Structure 1
């Protein structure tokens, strides 16, 4: 008789059951079973399943890995499978493809769908490596990525449609998808500005959102102090080291 299928516990013999998720055998006693399914390792394996496209087929008492398209052998636990070269290589290849592309894999990895979802294109993609690669390289996707990144990088349209203006660098860029993305990803001045400012405001609860998204805005916003701060290194440093800001941080830490 099967026991606690929801938790991957199945009958094995008269004296013990097997946890399919963890690949271990447990004495066939309610106390032992409850102790196992409430344990940290078992709960971690359930989380890992939903993060790695692994599901339990209770009609066959077996685990199935969607990315690898295989049924796991009886002796292979969730963690053991995730560490295999085939699964790890798939994960690395997929992560490399979707990083920075606004593509969500959540529903695919939790076995709710066979598709990934592209947020910038508002479309589903059959979640196979060749399909994802094809999608991220389409002109429409690259264009949508550029439009999504412009207000996050202080880049604004000009009256002259041939150019856009980068507020961060105070310079003009040819208004094409390739030039805009190249500027964001590879321009040393642009990248150095972000690295310096982001390092400075880390853990300070200071937002650059309105500065970067508004062409005429001159200030960042300190959420701790509820004040605007001119968005340059000198002004931000002065504010961060000011008595009022330090006191606000101290109050929040005490809470």
Structure 2
């Protein structure tokens, strides 16, 4: 399936990286895609157990600041997209009430969601919730951009983390237009004890990708005691990988997302952009 419609969740804090905007626009330019920038309008929330009433002026000022931040993010996105000549539109998203459902509904009619990793030193719980909701409930693939270290989009050398699962297969299918741009694609299989696949799944995937014109190789790497995520991160660093494609694992308990170990490890410590699907 072609990538023709991209959605990106904009950062409303001016000191955050602009890399997600740049990468979303670069992908849109390479694939002749339309891009929608969504800015969250975060309404002030008054704790239910407040003893003293909150002054009306405080609420009014907080709403004004939130509105200014959201519109400023939209303006920064529009200025960048207009400068590089990308087809784009902007949307303001009121995130309360029903923040997760609102964002998910915005993303279901697109081919790729581009979001930036949260600042590990100043995490935003709402932003983390929005990202996990997009991954697990939108039905669309998500491209995560690291908080630091990514200045421009590159897909010359891509790593596909392959374990034979349906989530990994979905990620590969969703990323195919980008895989076809690569100079080299490495299929990497971590030899975990619980991974028992019939036949030669790495070779089978290599044949499938080669039929799409992808230059591919297969590598099997041992799983360290620290886990699959560390094995993948070490391989990324040692081999100069530009982009990762992998499945996103987890399940939902009511509306609380429980991430699989490899997925959470990659989301927290990623050093290159990562395309995930669930």
Q: TM-score range by the shorter chain?
A: under 0.3
TM-score (normalised: structure 2) = 0.23
Which structure has more helix as a fraction of its residues?
1
TM-score (normalised: structure 1) = 0.24
More relative contact order, 1 or 2 (CA 8 Å, 6+ apart): 2
